[in-house]
Homo-oligomer: A and B are copies of this chain.
Amino acid sequence: MEQRLALLVVGNEILTGKVEDKNTPYLAKRIWELGSRLERVVVVPDEIEAIAQELNALRRVFDAIITSGGIGPTHDDVTMEAIAYAFGIPLVQKPSLFPLLGAQHLEGKMRMAYVPKGASLIPTDDGTFPVVRMENVYILPGVPRLFQKKLEVIASQFSADPYFIESVTFSVPESWLSQALGAIQKAHPTLQIGSYPKIEKNPFVVLVTIEGKDAGQVQAALKRLKSSFPPEYFAG
Chain B proximity mask over A31-62: 1 for CB below 8 Å, otherwise 0: 11000011111111100001000100100000
Q: Are A177 and B74 in contact (CB under 8 A)?
A: yes
The answer to whether the Cβ of A231 comes within 8 Å of any Cβ in the partner chain is no
Q: Which of B26, B39, B111, B195 contacts A45 (CB 8 A)?
A: B39
Q: Which of B15, B193, B200 contacts A38 (CB 8 A)?
A: B15
Q: Are A174 and B72 in contact (CB under 8 A)?
A: yes
Q: Are A178 and B25 in contact (CB under 8 A)?
A: no
Which B residues touch A178, using CB under 8 A? 73-75, 108-109, 111
The answer to whether the Cβ of A160 comes within 8 Å of any Cβ in the partner chain is no
The answer to whether the Cβ of A13 comes within 8 Å of any Cβ in the partner chain is yes
A194–chain B nearest beta-carbon distance, Å: 6
Assembly CA distance A199 to B16 (angstroms): 20
Which B residues touch A25, using CB under 8 A? 14, 17, 20-21
The answer to whether the Cβ of A217 comes within 8 Å of any Cβ in the partner chain is no
Chain B proximity mask over A116-155: 1 for CB below 8 Å, otherwise 0: 0000000000000000000000000001111000000000
Q: Are B18 and A21 in contact (CB under 8 A)?
A: no
Centre residue among A20, A38, A75 by max chain B CB count within 10 A: A75
A154–chain B nearest beta-carbon distance, Å: 18
Assembly CA distance A79 to B20 (angstroms): 25
Q: Are A44 and B40 in contact (CB under 8 A)?
A: yes
**Apart from A9-B41, A19-B196, A76-B193, 16 more pairs, CB < 8 Å:** A16-B38, A16-B211, A17-B28, A17-B30, A18-B209, A40-B43, A72-B197, A74-B195, A75-B182, A75-B195, A76-B194, A105-B176, A108-B179, A109-B175, A109-B178, A143-B199
Please give the residue numbers on chain A whose beta carbons come within 8 Å of chain B beta carbons, in ascending order: 9, 12-21, 24-32, 37-45, 50, 54, 57, 72-76, 101, 105, 107-109, 111, 143-146, 173-179, 181-182, 185-186, 192-197, 199-200, 209, 211
25 contacts between A and B (CB under 8 A): A9-B41, A14-B28, A15-B40, A15-B41, A16-B211, A17-B25, A17-B26, A17-B30, A17-B31, A18-B209, A20-B25, A21-B24, A39-B45, A40-B50, A42-B43, A72-B195, A73-B175, A75-B181, A75-B195, A76-B185, A105-B176, A108-B175, A108-B176, A109-B178, A145-B199
